[in-house]
Amino acid sequence: MNKKVYEAVLSGKSDDNIKYTDFQNLIVDLGFEYKRQSGSHRIYYNEDIDESMNIQPRGNKAKGYQVEQLREYIQEYNLKN
């Protein structure tokens, strides 16, 4: 897991400045599995916590509200790699 990206997500200081590919990799590292894609929307699901992430890029960055959603999952479910 990229600790720098994990810490950036947890800090909440740069939600609109996380690279989309780094964000995707972090989601997978935290136990989410890619399930399907609809257009630019990629759906990831984590069976252990019964939650899903629906993500799509804004240019080459992750969308801030999706970073915030992942942070909430990390905190609520104590997700770590």
CATH number at residue 70: 3.30.920
* Residue 12 burial (10 A CB sphere; 0-12, 13-18, 19+): exposed
pTM of the model: 0.95
For the chain, 81 residues long, the average pLDDT of each consecutive 10-residue run is 95 96 97 96 96 96 98 96 68
Domain limits for position 17: 3-77
Number of domains in the chain: 1
**What pLDDT shows up at residue 65?**
97
